[in-house]
Amino acid sequence: MAREAKDQTLEFDFRILKPSGETRWVSHSCTPIYGDEGQWLGRRESNHDITERRKAEARIAHMAHHDGLTNLPNRELYQDRLRQALEQSQPGNKRVAVLCVDLDLFKNVNDSFGHPMGDRLLKMVAERLRSEVRGSNLVARLGGDEFAILLDRTDATAAQQTMTRLRELSPNAWSWGISQVREGDTIESMFDRADQKLYAVKRGRG
């Protein structure tokens, strides 16, 4: 009588790239079969197409780390990327900067024209920032009308130039604060300095 050794089953997933360019995912399992006296008789193999499951998992992972309205990275993903940048910047290679962005009078837009118009404005701002920020840099929506930009492998002069260029795109539409990495910086300390500078700009306009 043959028996399957379930405890020895080998399972793995692999990807198939079809000539059309379509990608399919397959789950493969292989279980050895032994006879009554322990002799190996063969194996039982099976393949299952799990492409739709993989797509669903990818969508869920994307939703967990991206803003639903603008499709930009959210606060969690931004902080994770900033944490990685800070770890790689130590010691000595201090080429990381945080730019915090806050839309001016956004509440007035919502109150005067409604939330659909406010959502359209947020999408427009997200697309504008994304189109202007390239390379290893990252644009994120932190929530509400708050955005942030991570400038990685950028020195202080280049970071200031980037902020100036972005600010000049629409000088009266948003306020900016920038924080260049310092020795011993954390995510919180960099955000605190950027926020302090941002609100100083807002008070100056007030």
**DSSP code of 170?**
S
d(CA 40, CA 43): 8
Rounded to whole angstroms, the Cα distance separating 65 from 82 reads: 14
Output DSSP code: residue 171.
Answer: T
* Of 155, 107, 99, nearest in space to 132 by CA: 99
Token pair of 89, please?
A: 């910047």
Catalytic-role residue among 102, 145, 152, 185: 145
Q: Which amino acid is at 204?
A: G
Q: Distance between CA atoms of 130 and 55, rounded to whole angstroms?
A: 25
To the query of whether residue 145 is one of the catalytic residues in this protein, the response is: yes
H helix intervals, the chain: 51-65, 75-89, 106-113, 115-132, 156-169, 187-205
CB 99 within 8 A of CB 148: yes
DSSP symbol at 7: G
Mapped onto helix, strand or coil, the DSSP state of residue 131 is helix
* Amino acid making up residue 32: P
Catalytically active residues, by annotation: 145
